[in-house]
Structure 1
């Protein structure tokens, strides 16, 4: 009798401050990755196989996820039924406690489904605040946003500049060299880039009216290393008058990084992976067998 191996697509979220990133880190490392804890939790379910999560979207140390995803194969003894989706979510969350990691949803998918390669788009949100220094932030906000400036931003200028990012471009001027991963093409197609007002996670009881919270949202099928954080810092520079929207267009065309005062990569604490999207037909194997014209 064959064993019961099932592939699941797992959606999960985490508070990234205490982790080395989402991907697995060596067990000898002092700070581990989110994947380490996911796999330990799954292994406590006593599967036949050694469990490995294949992460869809990499996030670095200090970066958070409202919703990331991964696929995982769980094989049980022949006399045991595969875990239902609901039971798997509850069991993993039980074994993840008290880590700030939560399983949101599990979906049974086909054996050839791949969480990374099947993703249609990824949406990142960068959250920042103006009107204060980092030390003046409410303590509950200090790992959840970037105190970008004590001055406020020229939002119309940022919105104009953000439009130049949308479309297919070579983002060589807006990426960092990652020595730990193979070279990836800097040519990406950005589907969305915009700024919108945000709110404090926990309202300041003293009602500091000088604080203004903003969300910078970017959507693409994939991103180059540190692309979102570099685009964000460049747009903040536009909002502070250090760059013009036209500078963004020029640096995209010349594939060179923009230069401005305090030219830094926006820190990881304000970055959130917000959503990973899939084609509904890939999530339901019975739909994959139907042609688009079937009724």
Structure 2
């Protein structure tokens, strides 16, 4: 800690459309790829912290995956003559300096110095969105492109699958969704699903099916006694069923 500075730790909730990013984690070095964390930390540079601000992300998401509400903790050290930012001021300041329109800070909380956004999470909920009834993937409504997995069927209808756990294995939700879809399409039989489950294969060597990243959303990360309890996740456009015109 810098001499004469005061450190404050915050938990921030933020959302993003993952289409333009190489995942949520920062990409370091000279690569052209960029993560959501890069933009968050770039915005935090304008807060004039005594030491650089680093975001510790609660839940990593892959390239193309979205988040209705992810979380991270960060430390801000201000000079001793300046008080810590209030959570409201911090939220407004980060949003003011964010340079990508697909990222938004939702809310911030002051937390103890030992709080850890990843280790303290008691629940994570993912949402996977399916669209059935598209003759071709490019026929999905324009505002749903890159936000659902389009499957062929007779009539356009949207489905939401929710998965909740304290933690998940790598690509676990996308693999589970792919198996459910394969069963629904008749490409997998119950006996084959049983064999996949009994293989206890965390890396998916016996289950190569993986649903596309663009249909997956991190819906929420929960903490004991913390979190935006009064804030409801944004409603998805497809919660109203679309029907094709023939």
TM-score by length of 1: 0.71
1:136 corresponds to 2:139: yes
| Distance in 2, Cα, partners of 1:226 & 1:134 | 22
Contact 1:85–1:107 under 8 Å retained in 2: yes
**CA shift in 2, pair 1:238/1:131, >3 Å:** same
Aligned twin of 1:103: 105
Aligned twin of 2:159: 214
| Distance in 1, Cα, partners of 2:186 & 2:106 | 41
Moved more, 266-275 or 93-102: 93-102
Which aligned segments of 4 or more residues in structure 1 are displaced greater than 4 angstroms? 256-260
Q: What is the count of residue pairs matched by the alignment?
A: 222
Residue deviations 1:267-293, cap 9 Å, x none? 11000000001111x67xxxxxxxxxx
Gaps of 5+ in 1: 153-209, 284-295
Gaps of 5+ in 2: 228-246
Contact 1:6–1:82 under 8 Å retained in 2: yes
CA drift at 1:255: 2.9
Equivalent residue of 1:44, what SS? helix
Aligned twin of 2:7: 5
CA drift at 1:31: 2.1
Aligned twin of 2:65: 63
Which of the numbers 162, 183, 195 marks the counterpart of 1:250?
195
Equivalent residue of 1:255, what SS? coil
1:80 corresponds to 2:82: yes
Which of the numbers 22, 35, 38 marks the counterpart of 1:36?
38
Which of the numbers 17, 20, 24 marks the counterpart of 1:18?
20
Equivalent residue of 2:179, what SS? helix
Contact 1:151–1:240 under 8 Å retained in 2: no
Residue deviations 1:67-116, cap 9 Å, x none? 00000000101111100000000000000144311111110000000000
| Distance in 2, Cα, partners of 1:241 & 1:65 | 31
| Distance in 2, Cα, partners of 1:49 & 1:122 | 31
| Distance in 2, Cα, partners of 1:116 & 1:222 | 10
| Distance in 2, Cα, partners of 1:218 & 1:258 | 22
Moved more, 68-77 or 23-32: 23-32
**CA shift in 2, pair 1:259/1:7, >3 Å:** closer
Aligned twin of 1:237: 182
